[in-house]
Amino acid sequence: MILHGHAMAGRQPQPWLVFLHGFSGDNREWQPVGATLENFPRLYLDLPGHGGSAALSIASFAEMDALLRATLVRYNILNYWLVGYSLGGRIALYHASQKPAGLNGVIVEGGHPGLIDDNVRAARLIADRQWCERLRQQPLAEVFDAWYRQPVFATLHEPQRAALVALRSKNNGTTLAAMLEATSLAQQPDLHSALRAVPFPIHYLYGEHDSKFQALATHVTRHCHAIPAAGHNAHRDNPAAVASALARILRLEIKDTL
């Protein structure tokens, strides 16, 4: 069993770039940005419960990591960078914390390194379970209209919110709920200490208007990059700036990964 993916060949013998989308997205989410990095072979994955992996389910971050590793083996990817947004970023950070062979580095956009307060963790578990019930029982347009009114998405204008609601409403609420249950921030280990011990670089992107994740970025790494004119979903708000940031990071780091 492996994740559904869309692979693109690179023009040069570089490490693979493996892209992980956010909650309710799919493998297309990163493709406009990834297309600008055509020298690199690229793999865009669908996470369990999403897109072509909608029929797949996992019960924990450890199972998600095992599925990611199996997918990399199937594609014969031995040298790679992970690029992940939000949920995909949290999965990338968990994978990084395991120090897998072949991982050259991680680039995270808006990914949380884990909760450290037990009371906050308990409150998050309750909140995410409520979202799961809504995903299973209510029309997705209603659920995602509420989802994109959460404080982290406060920078969205109404046309942007409406476009996202229309796009995300094409999903399957039941499979999304199962993935949210398994990979809730409340279920994620606190990765702060583990990430400080990894032997490869971690770079963190955040939208300049995303104050919450700007603060969290410094908990993950000293390599923090603000994306102008962007909120939490920086690669959607300003794909050109995110593509430029990825290119700069890879130019800086690639000499150490070949």
Q: Give Cβ neighbours of residue 73 (< 8 Å, ≥ 6 apart).
A: none
Q: In 3D, which of 167, 173, 140 has the Cα closest to residue 49?
A: 173
Whether residue 69 contacts residue 102, with contact meaning beta carbons closer than 8 Å, is answered with: no
- pLDDT for 256: 47
Q: Give Cβ neighbours of residue 126 (< 8 Å, ≥ 6 apart).
A: none
HEC string of 201-224 equals CEEEEEECCCHHHHHHHHHHCCEE
pLDDT band of residue 13 (cuts 50, 70, 90) is confident
Give yes or no for residue 257 having a pLDDT over 80. no
What confidence tens digit (pLDDT) does each residue in 187-244 have? 999 999 999 999 999 999 999 999 999 999 999 999 999 999 999 999 999 999 999 9
Q: In 3D, which of 43, 88, 31 has the Cα closest to residue 65?
A: 88
- pLDDT for 72: 98
Question: What residue type is assigned to position 53 of the chain?
Answer: S
* Residues forming a β-bridge with 20: 45, 84
Proportion of the chain above pLDDT 70, given as a percent: 98
d(CA 130, CA 134) in angstroms, rounded, equals 6
What confidence tens digit (pLDDT) does each residue in 116-147 have? 999 999 999 999 999 999 999 999 999 999 99
Q: In 3D, which of 20, 40, 135 has the Cα closest to residue 84?
A: 20
- Among 9-13, 74-78, 162-166, the range scoring the smallest mean pLDDT is 9-13
Taking residues 75-83, what's their average pLDDT? 97
- pLDDT for 12: 84
- pLDDT for 254: 86
Q: For helices 87-97 and 61-74, give the axis angle rounded to 10 degrees.
A: 80
pLDDT band of residue 41 (cuts 50, 70, 90) is very high
Taking residues 78-83, what's their average pLDDT? 97
Give yes or no for residue 258 having a pLDDT over 70. no
Domains of the chain: 5-113+188-256 (3.40.50.1820), 119-178 (no CATH)
What confidence tens digit (pLDDT) does each residue in 49-59 have? 999 999 999 99
Taking residues 146-157, what's their average pLDDT? 95
